[in-house]
Amino acid sequence: MAIEIKHLTKEFGPKVAVNDLSLTLNDGQVLGLIGQNGAGKTTTFRMLLDFIKPDHGTILFDGQPITQAIRKKIGFLPEERGLYQKWTIEQQMLYFGELHGMKANTIKSELKRWLKRLEVVGKPNDKVQTLSKGNAQKVQLIATLIFQPQLLILDEPFTGLDPVNTSLMMREIKQFSDEGARIIFSAHNMASVESLSDHLLMLKNGNTVLSGATNVIRESFGRTRIYLESPISDAELLGIEGVISITPSNLGRMLKISDEAVGRVVFERVTSSTNYVPAFMQTPPSLDEIFRTEVAATEVKL
């Protein structure tokens, strides 16, 4: 289910929630949606799911507007999670599954498989209110995935998850994308976006600030960071023209340089015949850095 969003705009009174958003998501692609609170992420999801209508622009799924048949193939995990507390795990799955066009018998057998796969401590007949928070989170994830969605829309999927569930969530997202599902997720946590998404969209106050393949975006900022493990002193490094700052990082230091070419000078200086250098890595800034320094602080339009 390829998704094409063209010139999407939504206004709430005087406030522009989403402004002229366009993107395309093809089979097997994972799109990370980044932005601060109020950037327009949830509004974008709500328009995708047809909860609200855009003021301008179109959203097409495989070339057509959303239909009941398409909805059935969408797995949605809302930012604020919710389950029927007084129902059993199986009752919820039967209801959600049936709404997505599954047969009761398939749901029951799939549920058993999922409970085992995510190592949920609980039986299908346990009421949700008796589950621990971690297990309830897993059940919520099962409710989103049990009907084998072809499009996953996950609003802040990692928020509130414990480390075990975070890695489970990552594993399942990768699994689904390997099987050809399209995935859109939003996140505050840049590390997850960096490791999961091959495309990213960065929003600020409804405007698209960055959009494209994750590595291309990073490269576009130039390889202006050097991770270095070497006995050479800070003073000597700062003496090199083009070295802007040095910060301690892990076992070594992180150098910020004015442009890529400076890297070569630094390399030659630290790798003299007497110095042993366990680590020298010249990289673009991390997404987190791009987000914090480039996007959150100033308006950058690409």
Q: Which stretch binds another protein (CB under 8 A): 23-31, 81-89, 173-181, 277-285?
A: 81-89
Residues of this chain, 26-65, that bind another protein according to CB under 8 A:
46, 49-52
- Residue nearer to another protein on the CB measure, 98 or 179: 98
Pairing of strands 199-204, 207-213: antiparallel
Residue 294 near residue 279, CB atoms below 8 Å: no
Q: Is 82 in the site for another protein (CB under 8 A)?
A: yes
Q: Helix and strand tally (H, E) in the chain?
A: 11, 13
Using the rule CB under 8 A, which residue among 14, 37, 63, 80 binds another protein?
A: 80
Using the rule CB under 8 A, which residue among 24, 58, 85, 148 binds another protein?
A: 85
- Residue nearer to another protein on the CB measure, 18 or 255: 18
Q: Is 199 in the site for another protein (CB under 8 A)?
A: no
Axis crossing angle, helix 133-145 with helix 163-178, rounded to the nearest 10: 10
Q: Is 84 in the site for another protein (CB under 8 A)?
A: yes
In angstroms, rounded to a whole number, what is the distance separating the alpha carbons of residues 196 and 30? 7
Q: Is 10 in the site for another protein (CB under 8 A)?
A: no
- Write 58-62 long-range contacts (CB < 8 A, 24+): 58/4, 58/5, 58/6, 58/7, 58/8, 59/3, 59/4, 59/5, 59/6, 59/8, 60/3, 60/4, 60/6, 61/1, 61/2, 61/3, 61/151, 62/1, 62/2
Partners of 240 in beta bridges: none
Q: Going residue by residue from 94 to 113, which x/- string records binding to another protein, judged by CB under 8 A?
A: -xx-xxxx------------
- Nearest approach, Cβ of residue 78 and another protein (Å): 4
Question: Going by C-beta distance under 8 Å and a sequence separation of 6 or more, which residues neighbour residue 206?
Answer: 16, 17, 18, 19, 39, 40, 43
- Nearest approach, Cβ of residue 67 and another protein (Å): 10
How many residues sit close enough to another protein to count as binding (CB under 8 A)? 28
Buried b / exposed e across 94-115, counting CB within 10 Å, b at 16+? Answer: bebbeebebeeeebeebbeebb
Using the rule CB under 8 A, which residue among 1, 16, 60, 83 binds another protein?
A: 83
Query: Hey, what are 130's tokens?
Result: 């008796």
Using the rule CB under 8 A, which residue among 6, 22, 55, 72 binds another protein?
A: 72
Q: Is 187 helix (H, G, I), strand (E, B) or coil?
A: strand
Using the rule CB under 8 A, which residue among 78, 124, 222, 242 binds another protein?
A: 78
Q: Which of 135, 108, 130, 133 shows the shortest CA–CA distance to 119?
A: 135
Using the rule CB under 8 A, which residue among 22, 38, 76, 294 binds another protein?
A: 76
Residues of this chain, 153-182, that bind another protein according to CB under 8 A:
153
Q: Is 227 in the site for another protein (CB under 8 A)?
A: no
Which amino acid is present at 280?
F
Q: Is 114 in the site for another protein (CB under 8 A)?
A: no
Q: Is 68 in the site for another protein (CB under 8 A)?
A: yes
Query: Hey, what are 33's tokens?
Result: 């949606």
Distance, C-alpha 214 to centroid of its chain:
11
Q: Going residue by residue from 129 to 158, which x/- string records binding to another protein, judged by CB under 8 A?
A: --------------xx--------x-----
- Residue nearer to another protein on the CB measure, 82 or 163: 82
What residues line the site for another protein (CB under 8 A)? 46, 49-52, 68-69, 71-72, 74, 76, 78, 80-85, 87, 95-96, 98-101, 143-144, 153
